[in-house]
């Protein structure tokens, strides 16, 4: 083999890896950036409740609707996400509304986990109605009336406190308004910051 042929063969062999890399780069789809405010719809994998969970608890969920940017699926339906209980406060019996605030932290796409930052999905429990206070007063009046019928004037003094206690107990039992989100509850979060996700050749992330 002449020196000229040897040089041509060596040059061709050296060029093969470069050509392969250039071809791979040309065939690789551009990454997709999900802008701020992009909605991510998820379904809870487990039950969350304001009277059982605490701030800092983590939860798991599944993407309920694929996130599509243009004609590209950035996050497929069924992708796993993990979230954080940002705030959880149980309802008081006579005052104090329940609160439950959640946010997403990560999403798993094509075997890789990406950190995400979303706004909080917050729920606020119902107000304690005035009927609870009226129930307490009604209980006292009812007790006094029953006591008066049963034992005259002195019975009214005895029956009144009994009735008040009964009314208060009823309010304690009916006044709590905690928040419960059963498994499979669908929630919507929105990105607080953009996130970029690489794409594969099949048009999916």
Q: What is the pLDDT of residues 55-76, one digit of tens each?
A: 999 999 999 999 999 889 999 9
pTM assigned to the model: 0.63
What is the spatial distance between Cα 74 and Cα 29, in angstroms, rounded to a whole number?
Answer: 12
Among the residue ranges 7-11, 119-123, 174-178, the one predicted with the least confidence is: 7-11
The CA distances from residue 81 to 13, 68, 180, in Å, are 46, 17, 20
Q: Is the dihedral of CA 53, 91, 171, 185 positive or negative?
A: negative
| pLDDT at residue 182, rounded to an integer | 97
* Chain-centre distance for alpha carbon 203: 28
| pLDDT at residue 95, rounded to an integer | 60
What is the spatial distance between Cα 114 and Cα 82, in angstroms, rounded to a whole number?
Answer: 10
| pLDDT at residue 125, rounded to an integer | 81
Q: Which two tokens stand for residue 136?
A: 């307490």
Residue 191 has pLDDT above 70, yes or no: yes
R_g of the chain computed on alpha carbons: 32
| pLDDT at residue 175, rounded to an integer | 53
The CA distances from residue 48 to 40, 85, 101, 136, in Å, are 19, 9, 10, 32
135 — pLDDT class (breaks 50, 70, 90)? very low
| pLDDT at residue 168, rounded to an integer | 40
8 Å CB contact between 111 and 198? no
| pLDDT at residue 170, rounded to an integer | 41
Higher pLDDT, 46 or 5: 46
8 Å CB contact between 167 and 134? no
| pLDDT at residue 204, rounded to an integer | 46
What is the spatial distance between Cα 44 and Cα 189, in angstroms, rounded to a whole number?
Answer: 12
């Amino acid at each position: 083999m002449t020196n000229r042929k040897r040089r041509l063969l060596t040059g061709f062999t050296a060029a093969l890896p470069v050509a392969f890399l250039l071809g791979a780069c040309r065939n690789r789809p551009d990454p997709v950036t999900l802008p701020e405010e992009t909605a991510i719809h998820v379904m809870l994998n487990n039950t969350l409740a304001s009277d059982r969970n605490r701030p800092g608890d983590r939860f798991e969920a599944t993407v309920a609707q694929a996130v599509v940017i243009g004609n590209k699926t950035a996050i497929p339906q069924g992708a796993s996400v993990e979230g954080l209980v940002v705030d959880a406060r149980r309802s008081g019996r006579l005052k104090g509304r329940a609160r439950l605030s959640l946010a997403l932290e990560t999403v798993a796409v094509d075997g890789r986990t990406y950190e995400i930052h979303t706004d909080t999905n917050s729920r606020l429990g119902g107000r304690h109605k005035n009927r609870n206070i009226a129930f307490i007063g009604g209980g006292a009046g009812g007790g006094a009336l029953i006591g008066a019928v049963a034992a005259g004037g002195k019975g009214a003094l005895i029956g009144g406190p009994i009735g008040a206690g009964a009314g208060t107990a009823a309010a304690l039992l009916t006044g709590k308004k905690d928040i419960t989100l059963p498994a499979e509850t669908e929630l919507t979060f929105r990105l607080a910051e953009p996130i970029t996700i690489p794409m594969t050749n099949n048009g999916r992330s």
